[in-house]
Homo-oligomer: A and B are copies of this chain.
Amino acid sequence: MLSKKTQYAFRALSYLAENYGKGPLLISTISVAKKIPLKFLENILNELKKADLLESKKGKGGGYSLRVSPRNINLATVIRVINGPIALLPCVSLNFYEKCEDCNEENCGLRKMMTITRDATLKILEKKTLNDIVLAAI
């Protein structure tokens, strides 16, 4: 399951996606509009910025905005930044790989099943974008 933090991230990003091209939005604006605790959101947006998904501007007229078009930010990227691995096992993760103890990867049946699962999941998450979220919301 995605953490609450990740859900907040998606809500904030969706809002930024809706307002793409209209200049930056304040943390406080997003916080109120999407009912996300202000200081927690501050944190989240900062992380998304460090991951190059957002850009920010300080001082009057400042705020956060998407660095690129919502069409070019896929869901897998967002999840990896805030939530971590998408695969169900560390030894199957593409971006957060860790060797598992006491298991020969070559002949681990579970690993093979989880690789297939990961591929099926990624096929969706890497294709769907923030734009799809906005469009799907009636």
Which residues does chain B contribute within 8 Å of A128, judged by CB atoms?
113, 116-117
Q: Which of A1, A90, A109, A125 has the most CB of B within 10 A?
A: A109
Specify how many copies of this chain sit in the oligomer: 2
**Across the interface, do A110 and B123 meet the contact criterion of CB distance under 8 Å?**
no
**Across the interface, do A116 and B124 meet the contact criterion of CB distance under 8 Å?**
yes
Nearest 6 CB-CB pairs, A to B? A109-B137, A109-B133, A109-B136, A107-B138, A112-B136, A120-B120
- Where the two chains meet, the residues of A that have a C-beta atom closer than 8 Å to any C-beta of B are 1-2, 7, 10-11, 14, 34-35, 75, 79, 84-85, 87-90, 100, 102, 106-110, 112-113, 116-117, 120-121, 123-125, 128, 132-138
